[in-house]
């Protein structure tokens, strides 16, 4: 555990009021599991930092603070409290004061770990914990992060330095930073992680062999001690790559046998292994399509091998033809996931979970919610977000993503009538899913501050808090993170909350208008390239011509994508008169002089938002500078440098977008601003 403000993210454990110092001098921890040992270590570190004391960690039931599972602590609770715990999920906890004694309890040691971090958070927020009375449990079963780290130390879509897991073709020897990462994840309730890129190339294929399993077990042990279950991304063609089989066909007996033996080997090393994350048949990755099989065939083969060990297959639904002719308007990447997977509902084994990106495209700053989420009543599902800011500024530009994710989770699918929101679907409250929840692509690396831009820590923190309790407001999460990270100075809290809460809207203003997305530099995905297309020479994503802009996805004249939504969403999006402005160009091709509900024309909206977006970045910088005296030098310098990058980026977006559409449309800016 290090002590720098950059490194410690939201676990700063700043010195606090000493009124309750004596309350913490003796703490009873009534277990000696690996998680209990992590609890003790965290308490020693936190209390030394906050109160400058070395607590006496005992098993004394008479201590002021007692931490133990229900079977160890039953005698200290009354009947009602025991009933409360009986109704809690395995990771839920009770914190209560019984006659001056603070008790933290639940059914499992993981519950105790979350309870301890809850109390430490309350202390950091300046709240009196001596009389806490809290009952909490996570809404989502699975709360996962996906690392896109490669064995050479690089991180695909990584914007925070290199991997903390790998360097120079090897697993890192010093795993202390991995342990600290596990602490951060546990502190916000994350309970699962995959530690290698979903694009599994060459040497990483061998992670499931004895060449790497001993060291991967060491990593798994670290995460286990913080309640986090380890998964591995796999190469679907592993039988060919590892042992030279002539096929990876999931319905061939020797392939099925190979996977069963391989899974047995993995569990011999790691008995608590979570399972596999799989990207198949997309962006040149191998999969069951090669053999004329479908995704149920491919995932079920792996599920059968994992089932005896309670392992799971997390099968990504990011499947589309990446070299399609985008000029052919009968094809539509947005349709792909639904078209591939919806017909297979009910054919997947119960330990298969489909992982679906929050939108139908690819983590854009604005896109509709994927219609596949909740559309499969008989197939486990989880939603995939991206904490890494691939298309939202790459942690150079500020974009606080919690409001965007809240928007997704609140979306009402109407799949079972009004009120069937994404939040309730992924919590398993709409369909009888055995497993469900949330996953997200991680945004950390080996930079001193973990996330490149210190402010990007708020997205990792916020993701964890949101997976535990989706009901938390984006403002509440922001305030929690600011106070724990930068302290309770009112001017800092107010200013930084404004900066964070405005940032998504500002980023959208100076980049992609009205839901059109993309227009970004191919492959790097940073900075504007209006006609950029990722994989081939085929056209653009926005279909801008002399007359107008946008993609016709209507049933009558377009790709028919809107038909994938339930009523009334289908009608809402399909009808140009009711389609929300912020998604208009995602669903409709319109003339530049089409009038939005705001009263502006499309072309004027483009001009105005790109000019105002740049000006808003300048205002962000001005606000940031007002609190300089309250921010330590390393973090102030880091954030200021990132704002300078963002200002340059916003200017480039403004100038290129406005110039392009002025030249394309020939329509003047009503305000007669300079457009080159």
Residues 20-43 pLDDT 10s: 889 999 999 999 999 999 999 999
pLDDT of 331: 72
Task: Calculate helix-pair angle for 490-510, 602-625, nearest 10 degrees.
Answer: 150
pLDDT of 533: 72
Rounded CA-CA distance 441/160 in Å is 13
604-631 average pLDDT score = 98
Residues 266-297 pLDDT 10s: 999 999 999 999 999 887 788 999 999 999 99
Reduced to 3 states (helix: H, G, I; strand: E, B; else coil), residue 158 is: coil
Residue 139 has pLDDT above 70, yes or no: yes
Sequential DSSP letters for 302-350? HHHHHGGGT-EEEEE-----TT--TT-TT--GGGHHHHHHGGGTT-S-T
Q: Tell me whether residue 362 is one of the annotated catalytic residues.
A: yes
Count of Cβ atoms closer than 10 Å to residue 224 Cβ: 21
Return mean pLDDT, the chain. 95
Identify the DSSP state of 173.
Answer: S
Query: Which domains, ranges and CATH numbers included, belong to the chain?
Result: 21-136 (3.30.379.10), 142-484 (3.20.20.80), 510-551+589-665 (3.90.1330.10)
Residue 535 has pLDDT above 70, yes or no: no
Which residues have CB under 8 Å from 597's CB, separation 6+? Answer: 581
Residues 165-218 pLDDT 10s: 999 999 999 999 999 999 999 999 999 999 999 999 899 999 999 999 999 999
pLDDT of 674: 84
Active site residue: 362, 447, 502, 508, which one? 362
pLDDT of 537: 46
Q: Are 342 and 565 in contact (CB under 8 A)?
A: no
Rounded CA-CA distance 110/272 in Å is 14
284-311 average pLDDT score = 95
Residue 307 has pLDDT above 80, yes or no: yes
73-98 average pLDDT score = 95
450-463 average pLDDT score = 98
Q: Tell me whether residue 652 is one of the annotated catalytic residues.
A: no
* Closest listed residue to residue 237, CA positions, set 298, 311, 148, 151: 298
Residue 539 has pLDDT above 70, yes or no: no
328 pLDDT band, cuts 50/70/90, is low
Residues 541-567 pLDDT 10s: 889 999 999 999 999 999 999 999 999
Sequential DSSP letters for 385-443? EE-S-TTTTTTTS----HHHHHHHHH-B--BTBTT-BHHHHHTTSSS--SS-EEEEE--
Sequential DSSP letters for 95-117? EEEETTEEEEEESSHHHHHHHHH
Residues 461-472 pLDDT 10s: 999 999 999 999
- What share of the chain in percent tops pLDDT 70? 97
Residues 641-671 pLDDT 10s: 999 999 999 999 999 999 999 999 999 999 9
- The pair of structure tokens assigned to 518 is 């993309």
Q: Tell me whether residue 629 is one of the annotated catalytic residues.
A: no
pTM of the model: 0.97
Identify the DSSP state of 601.
Answer: B
Count of Cβ atoms closer than 10 Å to residue 244 Cβ: 7
- The angle subtended at Cα 583 by Cα 577 and Cα 589, nearest 5°, is 65
Active site residue: 122, 221, 283, 350, which one? 283
532 pLDDT band, cuts 50/70/90, is confident
Of the chain, the end-to-end C-alpha distance in Å amounts to 53
316-320 average pLDDT score = 88
Active site residue: 249, 332, 390, 424, which one? 390
């Amino acid at each position: 555990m290090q002590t720098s403000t950059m490194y410690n993210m939201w676990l700063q454990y700043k010195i606090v009021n000493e009124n309750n110092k004596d309350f913490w001098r003796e703490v009873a921890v009534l277990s000696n599991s690996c998680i209990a040992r992590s609890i003790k270590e965290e308490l020693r570190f936190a209390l030394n930092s906050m109160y400058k004391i070395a607590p006496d960690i005992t098993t004394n039931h008479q201590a002021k603070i007692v931490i133990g599972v229900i079977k160890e602590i039953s005698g200290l609770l009354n009947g009602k409290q025991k009933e409360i715990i009986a109704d809690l999920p395995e990771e839920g906890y009770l914190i209560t004061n019984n006659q001056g004694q603070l008790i933290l309890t639940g059914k499992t040691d993981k519950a105790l770990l979350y309870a301890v971090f809850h109390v430490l958070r309350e202390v950091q927020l300046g709240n009196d914990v001596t009389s806490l009375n809290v009952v909490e449990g996570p809404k989502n079963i699975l709360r996962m992060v996906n690392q896109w780290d490669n064995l050479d130390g690089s991180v695909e879509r990584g914007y925070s330095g290199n991997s903390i897991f790998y360097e120079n073709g090897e697993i890192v020897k010093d795993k202390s930073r991995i342990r600290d990462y596990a602490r951060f994840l546990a502190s916000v309730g994350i309970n699962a992680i995959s530690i290698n890129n979903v694009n599994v190339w060459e040497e990483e294929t061998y992670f499931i062999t004895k060449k790497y399993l001993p060291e991967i077990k060491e990593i798994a042990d670290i995460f286990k001690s913080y309640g986090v279950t380890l998964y591995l991304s796999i190469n679907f063609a592993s039988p060919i790559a590892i042992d030279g089989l002539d096929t990876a066909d999931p319905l061939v007996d020797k392939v099925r046998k190979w996977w069963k033996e391989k899974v047995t080997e993995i569990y011999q090393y790691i008995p608590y292994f979570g399972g596999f994350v799989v990207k198949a048949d997309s962006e040149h990755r191998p999969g069951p399509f090669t053999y004329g099989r479908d995704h149920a065939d491919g995932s079920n083969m792996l599920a059968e091998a994992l089932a005896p060990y309670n392992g799971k297959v997390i099968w990504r639904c990011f499947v589309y033809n990446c070299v399609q002719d985008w000029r052919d308007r009968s094809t539509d990447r947005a349709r792909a996931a639904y078209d591939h997977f919806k017909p297979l509902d009910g054919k997947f084994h119960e330990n298969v979970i489909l992982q679906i990106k929050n939108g139908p495209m690819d983590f854009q700053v604005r896109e509709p919610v994927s219609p596949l989420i909740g559309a499969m009543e008989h197939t486990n599902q989880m939603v995939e977000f991206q904490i890494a800011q691939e298309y939202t500024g790459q942690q150079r530009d500020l974009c606080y993503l919690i409001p965007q994710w809240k928007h997704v989770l609140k979306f009402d699918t109407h799949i079972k009538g009004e009120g069937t929101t994404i939040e309730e679907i992924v919590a398993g409250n709409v369909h009888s899913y055995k497993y469900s929840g949330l996953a997200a692509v991680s945004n950390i690396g080996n930079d001193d501050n973990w996330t490149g831009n210190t402010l990007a820590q708020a997205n990792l923190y916020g993701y964890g808090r949101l997976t535990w309790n989706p009901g938390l407001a984006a403002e509440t999460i922001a305030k929690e993170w600011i106070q724990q990270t930068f302290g309770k100075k009112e001017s800092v809290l107010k200013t930084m909350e404004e900066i964070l809460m405005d940032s998504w809207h500002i980023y959208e203003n100076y980049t992609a208008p009205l839901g059109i997305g993309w227009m970004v530099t191919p492959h790097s995905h940073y900075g504007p390239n209006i006609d950029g297309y990722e994989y081939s020479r085929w056209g653009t994503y926005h279909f801008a011509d002399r007359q107008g802009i946008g993609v016709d996805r209507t049933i009558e004249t377009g790709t028919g994508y809107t038909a994938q939504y339930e009523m009334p969403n289908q009608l809402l999006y399909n009808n140009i008169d009711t389609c929300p402005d912020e998604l208009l160009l995602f669903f409709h091709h319109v003339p530049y002089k089409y009038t939005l509900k705001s009263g502006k024309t499309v072309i004027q909206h483009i001009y105005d938002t790109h000019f105002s977006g740049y000006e808003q970045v300048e205002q962000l910088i001005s606000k940031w500078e007002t609190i300089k005296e309250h921010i330590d030098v390393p973090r102030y310098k880091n954030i200021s440098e990132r704002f300078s990058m963002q200002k340059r980026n916003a200017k480039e977006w403004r100038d290129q977008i406005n110039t392009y559409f002025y030249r394309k449309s020939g329509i003047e800016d009503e305000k007669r601003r300079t457009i080159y």
